[in-house]
């Protein structure tokens, strides 16, 4: 019997849900870990994202611990069945934690204590000397490393030189401006990163409206989306909010 050939289509765009703001809600009422009433539970949030079809769960363990706490990354590590993507600044303390819990992926981000959220991309070009040892140690431990960078050729080139596995292109400027030149920068950086053999991810400020345009950026493998999904979850529930985003991504 003649078998029909199955054509390989492009791999579907994957979604990592950033659940930092589930922890923000918890910290607003229960900053102490030992309250009997503590809620919402991050592992339930992660499980609902996974059940809705997310490919992974993302959290940012910030130096100031404003939302995600050390115990959260331990519990999430134990409970997540897809993959854990740990966003982190390149500091010795946080690096030690990453090497202990061994997330599948680490995304190195810049961190500024006074910012409301991660503002600009990492200076991979200017900070190569500090980044290289951290990337090497994470690689030796079997952790894949992504660098969160602005969509600029020099940053992509630096990420490739540092042998990062992926770049996460900062979509914040486009999300705020909606301008074509910001989108063009993302498209060009994505093409350049792909040509350098880097996996192309994107994140920051992606929502249910701009996803239609964001997903047209070439070579995208993975999006990390947090605030918009968690906000929508207040009205429709987390599982539905994730499923709706996935439907728009496809
Ligand atoms: N990717 C990175 C590297 C981030 O720092 C953040 C914000 O924590 C996100 C993605 C998610 O951004 P947003 O909450 O705007 O969807």
Q: List the chain pLDDT tens, one digit each, 250 residues.
A: 455 555 566 789 999 999 999 999 999 999 988 888 999 999 999 999 999 999 999 999 999 999 999 999 999 999 999 999 999 999 999 999 999 999 999 999 998 766 666 668 999 999 999 999 999 999 999 999 999 999 999 999 999 999 999 999 999 999 999 999 999 999 999 999 999 999 999 999 999 999 999 999 999 999 999 999 999 999 999 999 999 999 999 9
pLDDT computed for residue 141 by the predictor: 98
pTM of the model: 0.94
Give nearest CA residue, ligand 1 atom 3: 148
- 146 forms beta bridges with 107, 166
Cα–Cα distance between 23 and 43 in angstroms, integer? 11
Tokens of 84: 């854990």
Which of 189, 197, 245, 198 minimizes the C-alpha distance to 218? Answer: 189
Is the beta carbon of 87 within 6 A of some atom in ligand 1? yes
CA of 228 to the centre of ligand 1 (A): 10
Task: Determine whether 219 is an active site residue.
Answer: no
pLDDT computed for residue 101 by the predictor: 97
Which of 249, 244, 245 minimizes the C-alpha distance to 220? Answer: 249
Peptide bond preceding 40 in cis form (omega within 30 of 0): yes
pLDDT computed for residue 33 by the predictor: 84
Strand extents, DSSP E, the chain: 14-18, 56-60, 84-88, 105-108, 144-149, 166-170, 199-203, 220-225
Give nearest CA residue, ligand 1 atom 5: 118
Cα–Cα distance between 211 and 74 in angstroms, integer? 31
Is the beta carbon of 112 within 6 A of some atom in ligand 1? no
Which one is catalytic: 21, 67, 170, 204? 204
Helix residue ranges per DSSP H, 53-162: 70-79, 92-101, 128-140, 153-161
| Domains, in order of start, for the chain | 14-249 (3.20.20.70)
> Do the Cβ atoms of 186 and 178 come closer than 8 Å?
no
Cα–Cα distance between 157 and 165 in angstroms, integer? 13
């Amino acid at each position: 019997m003649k078998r029909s050939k199955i054509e390989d289509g492009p791999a579907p765009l994957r979604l990592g849900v950033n659940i930092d703001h589930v922890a923000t809600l918890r910290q607003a009422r229960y900053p102490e870990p030992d309250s009997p009433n503590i809620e919402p539970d991050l592992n339930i949030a992660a499980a609902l994202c996974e059940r809705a079809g997310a490919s992974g769960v993302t959290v940012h363990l910030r130096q100031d611990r404003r939302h995600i706490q050390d115990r959260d990354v331990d519990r999430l590590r134990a409970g997540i069945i897809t993959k854990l993507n740990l966003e982190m600044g390149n500091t010795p303390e946080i690096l030690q934690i990453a090497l202990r819990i061994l997330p599948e992926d680490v995304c190195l981000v810049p961190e500024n204590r006074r910012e409301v959220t991660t503002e600009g991309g990492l200076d991979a070009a200017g900070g190569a000397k500090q980044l290289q040892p951290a990337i090497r140690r994470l690689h030796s431990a079997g952790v894949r490393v992504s660098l969160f960078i602005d969509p600029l050729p020099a940053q992509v080139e630096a990420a490739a030189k540092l042998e990062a596995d992926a770049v996460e292109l900062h979509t914040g400027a486009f999300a705020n401006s909606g301008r074509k030149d910001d989108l063009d920068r993302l498209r060009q950086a994505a093409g350049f990163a792909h040509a350098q053999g880097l996996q192309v991810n994107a994140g920051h400020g992606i929502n249910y409206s701009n996803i239609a345009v964001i997903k047209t950026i070439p070579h995208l493998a993975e999006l990390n989306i947090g605030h918009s999904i968690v906000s929508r979850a207040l009205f429709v529930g987390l599982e539905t909010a994730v499923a709706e985003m996935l439907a728009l991504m496809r």
